[in-house]
Structure 1
Amino acid sequence: MQSNRAQQCAADHWQKDLAALIDTIRLPSFGGLLEKFLASQCHFDTLLMVTYKKSLKPLILHPTNPAEQSLTLHNYINRSYILDPLFNAIQSGNLGEGVSRLIDIAPDSFETTRYYQSCYKEFDLIDEINLVIELDPKVNCAISLGRKTSRGTITRAELTRLNDIYPVVQSIIRQFWLSQSQEFVKYEKSEGPMNQAISTFGSGVLTPREQQIAGLILQGHSSKAIANMLEISLGTVKVHRKNIHTRLNTSTQADIFTLFLAHLKELDPTASI
């Protein structure tokens, strides 16, 4: 209770943190001040700010200190982002600017995926809140706030505060990008093998439709969700899934994921998710 009162007090007196944040828009310390400002509005255990640009790997805007970047984060940026619900929602145009929770954008069977097990459950993350900002027609910024089980899911009051300050954060992030983008885009890298990993998985064994469905299975979509997305019957999806398992000699989603990893390593021997 005392912690909640302290945060409410900080949330009501955030002007100083906001002023400090604006003062650092052109400085390397911007990311740290942004984290402090958001912490005055919402409790979180982790913060990650990245940009997504079609055909390029995500860029880390914060944290930039290598000591604060885990192996899991490096794997995400280099490879596993292709299975990330946030990345796919932005790329597909299904998620616009604003504040959203992972639970609202993730596929209905996402928690059964190996990606979820390694990137969320293993690190005890129970909730993730994302602030998405369009920097230009080709680039989006996402600020992801992670909460562990001990902290619980985000409260309605916190979510309201984030929505209230979103227009301010949106404007500041755009100004930050205008002033500092060149410090980051020089490190942009091609997707390389990841650009074709999903689309070529099962090539020569699966039909194009089965490849499409296999990719959706890997991302965590259930048969019912796939039927709705592709506008086909649930029975047709089940037939395709049965054929996929027969052709790939698999029986579970985990088996398909294992084959996907093998396929990815053929494209990129250094790959690991």
Structure 2
Amino acid sequence: MQADLRALFQSLADWTETTESSDKQAGETLLSMTRALVRFDYMVIFAYRDKARPIHLFSTFEPEDYKLFVTLYQTGPYLLDPFYHAARADRAGVMRMRELAPDRFFSSEYYRTFYSQTQLAEEVGFFVPTRDGVTVVVSLMRREKTGAFPATEFGLLSDAEPFMSAFVRHAWGNLAGRFAEMVQGRGRRSEPVSAADRVWRRLNLTDRESSIVELVLQGHSSESIGLKLDISTGTVKVHRRNVYRKLGISSQIQLLSIYLKNLQG
């Protein structure tokens, strides 16, 4: 695809005349600018802050796809998403999903049970840390029939990243208050533990066991978990066996089922 510079500059001109904009207006402006550069099927913009449920800011999904990519995602699967973990780590820049995914992500039960339903060939994200621990992620998705982003188009996105980040900070530079309102709306003053933390406590897992099974569900191998937690691969396997025995299960798919069921319980 050849970049449409006229459309890009027209979008920029329209944006400069806007004093204030809603999430929808900002998202549509960003959509027009990005579509002038590269081809993609969907755009979705989420804001992440620590372990809170992400805030949906904008997307281009039809109703059925919205249920999968937004509604279902927000109920718990986001906790296993590589984009969520990159946002929590304050990563910045434009990155491909496959660059961020754990070593066993594409063979994990999370991938088979949830992510494969998206039928995506590739997902690319602009990661923009704003303030108060909030990171906005602008995700561009291409379906299997469209194929992955060619190197030339990914190069255009990389070149556009400084402007994209500046636009996002201008449009969504003060989201901490919205996260606070979301928590208050649920009748809590604060969120001392995440939904995932509450699941592991309910299942009576130790902190070490919880850390290990979360990484298992994210798609890390025992070797990768050992490196992240600075323990031996053998110790990781012992903890995994203990968790399976404690929960009365024998497979990762059963572990994921228990996890998701308790998240929504």
TM-score by length of structure 2 reads 0.84
The CA distance in 2 between the partners of 1:187 and 1:122, in whole Å, is 32
Matched letter for residue 167 of structure 2: I
Superposed displacement of residue 168, structure 1? 0.9
Superposed displacement of residue 199, structure 1? 5.7
Question: Who is 1:84 aligned against?
Answer: 81
Question: Who is 2:115 aligned against?
Answer: 120
Q: Do residues 20 (structure 1) and 14 (structure 2) align?
A: yes
* Aligned ranges 1:24-103 → 2 under 5 Å: 24=18, 26-28=20-22, 29-63=25-59, 70-72=66-68, 73-91=70-88, 93=89, 95-103=90-98
The CA distance in 1 between the partners of 2:40 and 2:115, in whole Å, is 14
Paired residues, number: 257
Superposed displacement of residue 249, structure 1? 2.0
* Aligned ranges 1:153-192 → 2 under 5 Å: 153-178=148-173, 188-189=182-183
**TM-aligned CA distance change 1:167 to 1:253, over 3 Å:** same
* Unaligned stretches of 5+ residues in structure 1: 269-273
**TM-aligned CA distance change 1:56 to 1:66, over 3 Å:** farther
User: Over the residues paired in the alignment, what is the CA RMSD in angstroms?
Assistant: 3.0
The CA distance in 2 between the partners of 1:181 and 1:229, in whole Å, is 31
Q: Do residues 111 (structure 1) and 110 (structure 2) align?
A: no
The CA distance in 1 between the partners of 2:217 and 2:61, in whole Å, is 32
Question: Who is 1:210 aligned against?
Answer: 209
Question: Who is 1:255 aligned against?
Answer: 254
Q: Give a deviation string over 1:56-80, Cα, whole Å, max 9, x none.
A: 3211111399958722211212432
* Aligned ranges 1:222-237 → 2 under 5 Å: 222-237=221-236
Task: Tell me the SS of whatever aligns to 1:226.
Answer: helix
Superposed displacement of residue 232, structure 1? 1.3
Task: Tell me the SS of whatever aligns to 1:70.
Answer: helix
**TM-aligned CA distance change 1:219 to 1:182, over 3 Å:** closer
TM-score by length of structure 1 reads 0.82
Superposed displacement of residue 139, structure 1? 1.1
**TM-aligned CA distance change 1:16 to 1:229, over 3 Å:** same
Of 46-55 and 57-66, more deviation after overlay is shown by 57-66
**TM-aligned CA distance change 1:11 to 1:119, over 3 Å:** farther
Task: Tell me the SS of whatever aligns to 2:56.
Answer: strand
The CA distance in 2 between the partners of 1:162 and 1:25, in whole Å, is 26
Runs of at least 4 residues off by over 4 Å: 64-69, 180-187, 190-194, 202-205
The CA distance in 2 between the partners of 1:23 and 1:119, in whole Å, is 41
Superposed displacement of residue 103, structure 1? 0.6
Superposed displacement of residue 164, structure 1? 0.8
* Unaligned stretches of 5+ residues in structure 2: none
